[in-house]
Amino acid sequence: MYALVDCNNFYASCERLFQPHLNGRPVVVLSNNDGCVISRSDEAKALGIAMGTPAYMSEPSFKKNDVKVFSSNYTLYGDLSDRVIKTLAAFAPRMEVYSIDESFLDLSDLYNTDLLQLGINIRKTVLQNIGIPVCVGIAPTKTLAKMANRYAKKKYKSVGVFYAANEQLKNEMLEYTEVGDIWGVGHQYALLLKKNGFHTAKDVTHIPADWMRQNMSVVGLRMLNELNGIPSIEWEYDAKSKKNICTSRSFGKLTNDYSLIKEAVSNHAATCALKLRTQSSVCTEINVFIGTNPHKVEHKQLHHAITIRCSTPTNLTKEIIGYALKGLDIIFRPDEYLYMKCGVMVLNIMPENSVQANMFDGVHRSRDKILSKTVDLVNKSMGKDTVRMAVQRFERRYKLRAGHLSSKYTTDINQILKVRI
């Protein structure tokens, strides 16, 4: 058996945790640059506020319905997510962190455990220890566990747990779930299934394997097995190394200031370099891109990118920044355009221990590797970017618009809650 534990309306729940007076009031959290809605409380959902709703279009509705609006506070959300994960790790011998607010637990070895009671204990413990409400779905496969979690939210919300312990309960859940709500079924596959007379997950379990493989490839066949109780999706106990890494941000306002864009590109490149070192990888190519705002039709438009090949695969911050700025010099056009966004991608990633040396390489890599490791250790203990390249500057003039940002209650000593007794 497997369990999927999912935090309810996670970002909104994180904000409510430190402002309990918002309980019962509609709450929404916006994406980067206060762009669109990415998390909603149940009260906001009841008002018909949809995911992806542009914030600027909804301001009158927010005011009318007394909706509390927050900018994304990823520092807070990441820290609370880490606390939830550490709490869940105590309940099962193996766990897969699926996303910031979802984790799979492998319950296969818990032979004499009452799994329904375990799910209730998980929910109670997370709420008591961290204060974040969760739902738990328990079933024979990961796909069914994902479905059971959704079913718990829809049909057993007060309990917050659903355990597909037998065929009757499993079929009840399958019959309730529409094909578009099956994990892994996108819009096009949902249309295909409905067109052929398959409307619920229960209908899908009766599809012949040959038809599924022919029309939905091996992915569909794997899903069919999972729905029939045959585990077919591999577990990823350790996160896989990324094949490409991208760091990009929109500017707080449109700009053609080269020094500001240079600062942003330098910091994005440094972040990519750190991510490479974290997974012990190097890249062979670096892509830089800039773009204007496509919604500002009255402005001249430009979306340009360039890829530069490294002379030697690298994860050194100074080299990756150097390549990125070289690319920026080539694609940047001054005066004519107002830029909205820039970013850096590191491509063709490989393990750092499999790099073939370049006989013409003039960089003292062993020394620079030690220096990078030391800088990373200092920044880890003293705070991000405590030590940085001079070109990265300190002002962060390109920072995102975040007009509704809450405090970093759990990670900044100057922003912790003060309690008066």
What sign has the CA pseudo-torsion 129, 133, 175, 195?
Answer: negative
403 vs 398: CA distance, rounded Å: 15
What sign has the CA pseudo-torsion 32, 97, 155, 185?
Answer: positive
Confidence (pLDDT) at 266: 95
Confidence (pLDDT) at 419: 81
Query: Are residues 20 and 115 in contact, defined by beta-carbon separation less than 8 angstroms?
Result: no
Pick the CATH number of 177-240 from 3.20.20.70, 1.10.150.20, 3.40.190.10, 3.40.50.300: 1.10.150.20
377 vs 380: CA distance, rounded Å: 5
Spell out the CATH class of 1-165.
Answer: alpha beta
Confidence (pLDDT) at 252: 79
In tens digits, the chain (421 residues) has pLDDT values of 899 999 999 999 999 999 999 999 999 999 888 889 999 999 999 999 999 888 888 889 999 999 999 999 999 999 999 999 999 999 998 999 999 999 999 998 888 889 999 999 999 999 999 999 999 999 999 999 999 999 999 999 889 999 999 999 999 999 999 999 999 898 999 999 999 999 999 999 999 999 999 999 999 999 999 999 999 988 877 767 788 899 998 887 889 899 999 999 999 999 999 999 999 999 999 999 999 988 888 888 989 999 999 988 999 999 999 999 999 999 998 878 899 999 999 999 999 888 777 777 777 888 888 999 999 999 888 888 889 999 988 877 777 778 888 999 998 888 888 888 8
Q: What is the mean pLDDT of the chain?
A: 91
27 vs 29: CA distance, rounded Å: 7
Q: Helix H segments across 30-114?
A: 42-46, 55-64, 74-88
421 vs 194: CA distance, rounded Å: 61
Query: In the chain, where are the structural domains located?
Result: 1-165, 177-240, 245-392
Confidence (pLDDT) at 172: 93
Q: Which of 273, 365, 362, 353 is nearest to 320 (CA)?
A: 273
Do the two domains 1-165 and 245-392 of this chain adopt the same fold?
no
272 vs 280: CA distance, rounded Å: 12
CATH number, span 245-392 = 3.30.1490.100
DSSP calls for 314-361:
E--HHHHHHHHHHHHHHH--TTT--EEEEEEEEES-EEGGGPPP-TT-
Q: Phi, psi at residue 170, to the nearest 5°?
A: -65, -45
Extended strands (E) in 46-160: 68-70, 94-99, 102-106, 134-139
Buried b (16+ CB within 10 A) or exposed e, 277-310: beeebbbbbbbbbbbbbeeeeeeeeeebebeeeb
